Amino acid sequence: MILEVLGYTGTQIAAIGIEIANIGILSGLLYLYIKSYRQIKIGFTAGLMLFASVLLIKSISTIILLIVDNDILLNYHGVIGGIIEFIALTILLKITWDY
């Protein structure tokens, strides 16, 4: 790639940036789910909290793996998967925020 910073390729930098954005969205979702669970203690909200927590762990571990091992997730599939996850989380955040 043309862009290289501290030995990371543009693909790796893009993947890290997307995962950071996903962490931001997931943190917002988790905040909303915890706030909702405190008001109405139902299993659905607890499931949503678990869902957001697992995806948050996935995003954090992906960033750690990208930083620790320069060769892991080097291809574009990691970036495309991150973009798709970002779009899905944005939709979920919008729906959750409205309701």
Element (DSSP H or E) covering residue 9:
strand 8-9
Q: How does pLDDT run across 77-98, given as a tens digit for each residue?
A: 566 677 878 888 888 888 788 7
CA dihedral 26, 31, 33, 37 (to 10 degrees): 160
- R_g of the chain, CA atoms, integer Å: 15
In sequence order, the β-bridge partners of residue 8 are: 5
- pTM, entire model: 0.71
Quick: pLDDT tens for 16-55.
888 899 999 999 999 999 999 999 988 778 888 888 888 8
Give CA 61 to chain center in angstroms.
10
